[in-house]
Structure 1
Amino acid sequence: MKEPMTTEQLLQGLKHYRRIARQDMLRAPETPHPDAFLKHAESRREVYVALGSYAETHASDEVIAHALELYRQLPFVTGTPEHEHAGIKGRENALENFFLLVGLDPKTRREARSHRPRLEQADVPTQG
Structure 2
Amino acid sequence: MKETMTTEQIQIGLKHYRRIARQDMLRAAETPHPDAFLKHAESRREIYARLGTHAETHAPDEVIGHALDLYRALPFVTGTPEHEHPDIKGQENALENFFLLIGLDPKTRREARSKRPKLGAVAPAPQNTQESQPAR
**Fold conserved between structures, TM > 0.5:** yes
Alpha-carbon offset, residue 124 of structure 1: 3.1
2:87 matches 1:87: yes
Name the residue aligned to 1:47: 47
TM-score if structure 2 supplies the norm length? 0.91
Q: Distance in 2 between matches of 1:124 and 1:111?
A: 22
Preserved CA contact (<8 Å) 1:75 1:124: no
2:14 matches 1:14: yes
Structure 1 residues not aligned, in runs of 5+ = none
Name the residue aligned to 1:65: 65
Name the residue aligned to 1:4: 4
Alpha-carbon offset, residue 16 of structure 1: 0.1
TM-score if structure 1 supplies the norm length? 0.96
| Runs (4+) off by over 3 Å | none
Structure 2 residues not aligned, in runs of 5+ = 126-136
Aligned residue pair count: 125
Alpha-carbon offset, residue 11 of structure 1: 0.2
Alpha-carbon offset, residue 117 of structure 1: 0.2
Identical-residue share of aligned pairs (%): 79
More helix by share: 1
RMSD, aligned CA: 0.9
Q: Distance in 1 between matches of 2:92 and 2:80?
A: 14
Partner-residue secondary structure (3-state), 1:40: helix
Q: Distance in 2 between matches of 1:123 and 1:84?
A: 18
Q: Distance in 2 between matches of 1:121 and 1:88?
A: 14
